[in-house]
Amino acid sequence: MTAQEVVKFAQDNGALMVDFKFMDFVGIWQHFTVPISEFDEDVFEEGLGFDGSSIRGWQPIHASDMIILPDPATAKMDPFTAIPTLSLIANIFDPITKEAYTRDPRNIAKKAEAYLKASGIGDTAFFGPEAEFFIFDDVRYDSSSNQSFYIVDSSEGAWNTGREEFPNLGYKPRHKEGYFPVSPTDSLNDLRNEMVMEMQKVGIRVECQHHEVATGGQAEIDMRFDSLVAMADKLQWFKYIIKNVAVRNGKTVTFMPKPLYGDNGSGMHTHVSIWKDGTNLFAGDGYGGLSKTALYFIGGIIKHARALSGFCNPTTNSYKRLVPGFEAPVNMAYSSRNRSAALRIPMFSTNPKSKRVEYRTPDPSCNGYLAFAAILMAGIDGIENKIDPGQPLDKDIYGLTPEELANIPSAPGSLDEALKALADDHDFLLKGDVFTPDVIEKWIEYKTEAEVNPIRMRPVPLEFALYFDI
């Protein structure tokens, strides 16, 4: 839509308020709202000011003024507000230079798309993330100088088979058996369907929904692939809708990668392909039906995988999922069909249009704009430098000997390791000023000071069980 069309769209839908949404540096949607009387076409040219110093990882207080500039193509009616509200996603600009703000994740994603076109390799990168999540009935947590705890609960949790429920009717999926029995064992089908219906209202095409492997409400809803920025926008709507549908039904959702011990964590397997002039450049006559371009793309991902984890697995909790020796995509190998490889070539169809690479290491705690941009830049580096991905691995990685595993690169074991890898290997991200040095430096600084160090300094309950009587 054009600016003029957005104004008419708001009028036609009876909008009384206008909500401006934007992504903070860390990965949480922020917003503010104005009455429709304060909204006209000029907003799309002049923008609106706000305090950038109050957003994590952004401006210092002595240079805090920033401008949001809404993107008219993102106009939708918000399905959750009591008052009819037009919703717009905005980009962030510096009010002095009038330039796109370097630390705005959406601007970074837009620059990644522009760099792909400028490289001559292709004109569109398609992304299809599978963001898993947990639906809980209750969550409680606290941490202070002398105590720390968390408790999550689900009516279908395997741990509740003995709970007094007046009556307890059973049908609770056992650990690692949630994929995917029918109701009544799957107690959340209607809720997931409601989520799907709300997604369709805002233009998200959904391919399927189902219970996931873990007990206690793990779920997956798969969206149809889209171009990089559009898909990152949809991922934010996806999280927004899922959380709000859950809350209005008296439940809560988390995209934490590992909220439960002893069961599967939540990943975000990400399907990627590059196209040019309507042709899928990843289709070919090589291994798994891939082209040389696709294999070089895989080579770039493998080469930069440890650095990519700094954006694709950006929380300390991410590495509770990425533990070697378990069913986690920590080994940087590629294979067709083999789901134990970090990079998989799906073989559901022989249609060249469906040929893609599935990167299985990312998780849904990531900032989609940054993660997708980083994945694309790593893949482009592989294509430009013809990086050989090595031989495919078509046997079960979890059955390999230590000697065989020693030759396969692996994901970092902690966020600290991932950030150090990013500090050592980020030149590929700086091409075309897609990521700028201040973005890399601030990301590492923020993550270290706000997340790595606080976790590092705190005892956890299990340590008392292990060490209190020493």
Q: 130 an active-site residue? A: yes
d(CA 194, CA 320): 31
User: Which of the following is catalytic: 103, 106, 192, 269?
Assistant: 269
User: Which of the following is catalytic: 104, 130, 233, 381?
Assistant: 130
At 462, which helix (H) or strand (E)? helix 461-467
Strands (E), 122-178: 124-136, 138-143, 148-153
Q: 163 an active-site residue? A: no
Question: What are the C-alpha distances in Å from 447 to residues 22, 50, 350, 443, 452?
Answer: 20, 24, 42, 6, 6
d(CA 106, CA 92): 8
Q: 156 an active-site residue? A: no
User: Which of the following is catalytic: 113, 220, 226, 416?
Assistant: 220
**Burial of 261 from C-beta contacts in 10 A (0-12 / 13-18 / 19+):** exposed
d(CA 185, CA 469): 42
User: Which of the following is catalytic: 24, 78, 104, 132?
Assistant: 132
User: Which of the following is catalytic: 24, 198, 233, 358?
Assistant: 358
User: Which of the following is catalytic: 71, 339, 394, 425?
Assistant: 339
Q: 269 an active-site residue? A: yes
Q: 384 an active-site residue? A: no
Q: 132 an active-site residue? A: yes
Q: 51 an active-site residue? A: yes
d(CA 365, CA 343): 19
At 430 the three-state DSSP class reads: helix
User: Which of the following is catalytic: 113, 360, 416, 451?
Assistant: 360
Q: Which two tokens stand for residue 59?
A: 């401006």
Nearest Cα neighbor of 379 from 40, 61, 119, 45 is: 119
User: Which of the following is catalytic: 104, 212, 233, 416?
Assistant: 212
Q: Catalytic positions, please?
A: 51, 130, 132, 212, 220, 269, 339, 358, 360
